[in-house]
Structure 1
Amino acid sequence: MIKKIDHLGIAVTDLNEAIEIYKNIGLEFVGTEVVDEQKVETAFFKVGESYFELLAATDPASPIAKFIDKNGGRMHHIALAVDDIEAEIERLLGLDFEMIDTVPRKGAHGNLIAFMHPRSTKGTLLEICSKANS
């Protein structure tokens, strides 16, 4: 079951510059992390119960690099928190949603993530995620 918006993912061309912008806005900076499996470096900002996640490519062949090449830096995805990611993937597949990931993979902070294909949501990339210990 979907619990809340976990974070908004924003693709950026220059992570350090973007961090300074979001700090200047007044958002609470949490820190950065390289996620080798996704070929990105992330920066998180806390906003109430949710987060802004800035995503910068660490490899020119990464999905984020390709996204930025095609779209520029902008909103990338909306992440929805769930308790049981495997059950949520099965539920969504049962409702005929197209999943990019039918098996969870590792995301930032060791959390498990899976993406729904934007074709299933009329253009919005949705991520479902669960905490590493869930």
Structure 2
Amino acid sequence: MSTPALPDDVQHLFTAIDHVGIAVPDLDVALAFYRDTYGMQVLHEEVNEEQGVREAMVGVGGTDTNPSGSCLQLLAPLTPESTIARFLDRSGPGLQQLAFRVDDVEHVAAVLRERGLRLLYDAPRRGTAGSRVNFVHPKDAGGVLVELVEPAASPH
């Protein structure tokens, strides 16, 4: 069975699945579980005040700094009012978002808006490790919160 051709104005906007976000009530407990049970390596951990989370990226596959491996992002709330706290209250721990890597988050957001999707922010915000992010509203993406991630430029 052949794949139908895309209309001329549709282009592939994503370069990869960047990570899958998982909401957890306690980051330390979650990190211990993913490390001790699954053998995953903690690649990065930070507090993101703007997003209201304490977060960690854990590697799935790959080696050392995770070349060619995938990531899970564990997200714990900083305050009871944070978006992740509200998600946990409503849905409990579990899958919270699917993040796609993009080359230019502003361009991709503009294209998606032109295609009728709502994005949560007017302009990109700071994400993990200095990345720039925006989100497609889940009501416009089949019930999935889609994150657009433009990684921070690598230092030379």
TM-score bracket, normalised by the shorter chain, equals: over 0.9
Which among 37, 40, 51 is matched to residue 71 of structure 2?
51
Equivalent residue in structure 2 for 1:30, among 43, 49, 53: 43
Structure 1 stretches (4+) deviating beyond 3 angstroms? Answer: none
2:127 is equivalent to residue 107 of structure 1: yes
Q: Deviations over 1:16-46 (max 9, x none)?
A: 1100110021112213100011110001111
| Percent identity for Structure 1 against Structure 2 | 37
- In structure 1, stretches of 5+ residues that fail to align are none
TM-score (norm 2): 0.82
The structure in which a higher percent of residues are strand is 1
When the two structures are aligned, how many residues end up with a matched partner? 134
Flag the structure with more relative contact order, 1 or 2, with Cα contacts below 8 A and sequence separation at least 6.
1
Q: TM-score, normalised by structure 1?
A: 0.95
Unaligned runs of 5+ residues in structure 2 are 1-12, 62-68
Alpha-carbon distance, 1:83 to partner: 0.4
Secondary structure of the 1:83 match is coil
2-structure distance, mates of 1:123, 1:11: 16
Give the match's secondary structure for 1:119: helix
Q: Between Structure 1 and Structure 2, which shows a larger proportion of helix residues?
A: 1
The answer to whether the 8 Å contact 1:113/1:128 transfers is: yes
Displacement of 1:5 in angstroms is 0.4
CA RMSD in angstroms comes to 1.2
